[in-house]
Amino acid sequence: MATYQPYNEFSTVSGGGFDNSQSSGRPNSGNGGSGSSSTLTPVTIKQVQESKQIVQDGPFVVNNLELHHVSFVGVVRNVVDNTSNINLTIEDGTGQIEVRKWSDDSNDMANAAQDEQPDAAESSQVAQMYEVGTYVRVFGALREFSGKKNVQFAVIKPIDNFNEVITHYLEAMKWHAIANGKLESPVNLQPNSEQTGEEQNLFVQDNSASEPKTALHKILEFCTAQCEGKDASSFAVHTKLIAQSLALSEPDVKMYCQTLVDQGFIYPTFDDSSFFVL
């Protein structure tokens, strides 16, 4: 059995996880720790653009949906490289929006300080991650500045499988139907009767006391315990901590976490390996 070394890089707070000490620049949840501000809603870009704040400093609302954290998919139409950050223009057929992505690469930061020099790098590391014409999925907090919608603290993931695009639009339609009373809200997600074996483990479902918990269940319960009482703007659970604590391999943990993201139980925050429970 593989051995796991103590994982402390992301364990600066009691109970483990990733605590961002620079959280003063990030907004608080907004309702005194209410879980509603951590809701991740799949939407189209048109829904983002048409959403309105009915109450000052309140949530954005569109089609009876309250939007706090949102996710959407689209095609990259333009990339503007500012070295330390990039502006992506993303379009999904219903509209387009600009999303800013900051670089975590120290070389990009160094180049930003000397970008007036003729021998400065032509393309930052963060800009090389995205190409015009490719699909991406965006997660972030919806904000508005000077009458223009903006996605703060955006996590932008390239899409390798077009099924993810189709799945997103189905999810967006489902939650639109739920918000407008056309569909009942599911209490939990369960597999159908034809799913068995390993395929069944990819779904979160209620387990009786006599049934062993799946790895997916254990990861969700672990993340829920770690995130309890924490602020999503300054705390996240890293996949390395999950792997160490549950004696799982990190690639498996990342796969299960992606499944939980797709099912709407968790969402990525600071990067693709840091998650918070909805």
Contacts of 78 (CB under 8 A, 6+ apart): 87, 88, 89, 132
| Whole-number pLDDT of residue 35 | 41
Q: Which residue has the higher pLDDT, 98 or 68?
A: 98
**pLDDT per position as a tens digit, 53-95:** 888 878 899 988 888 889 999 999 999 988 778 899 999 999 9
Q: Which helix (H) or strand (E) is 275 found in, with range?
A: strand 274-277
CA dist list (Å): 159 to 138, 174, 238: 10, 21, 21
C-alpha count within 13 angstroms, C-beta hemisphere, residue 7: 19
Question: By the 8 A CB rule, do 137 and 73 touch?
Answer: yes
End-to-end CA distance of the chain: 32
What percentage of the chain exceeds 90 in pLDDT? 25
Instruction: Report how far residue 26's alpha carbon sits from residue 4's, in angstroms, rounded to the nearest whole number.
Output: 33
Between CA 124 and CA 138 the distance in angstroms is 20
3-state SS class at 187: coil
Average of per-residue pLDDT values in the chain: 75
Give all domains of the chain, ordered by start, each with its CATH number. Answer: 34-185 (2.40.50.140), 187-278 (1.10.10.10)
pLDDT at site 146: 82
- Closest by Cα among 232, 230, 251, 229 to 240: 251
3-state DSSP helix/strand/coil percent for the chain, to nearest 5? Answer: 30, 25, 45
Identify the weakest region by mean pLDDT among 81-95, 101-115, 199-213.
Answer: 199-213
User: What pLDDT does residue 115 have?
Assistant: 53
What is the identity of the amino acid at 239?
T
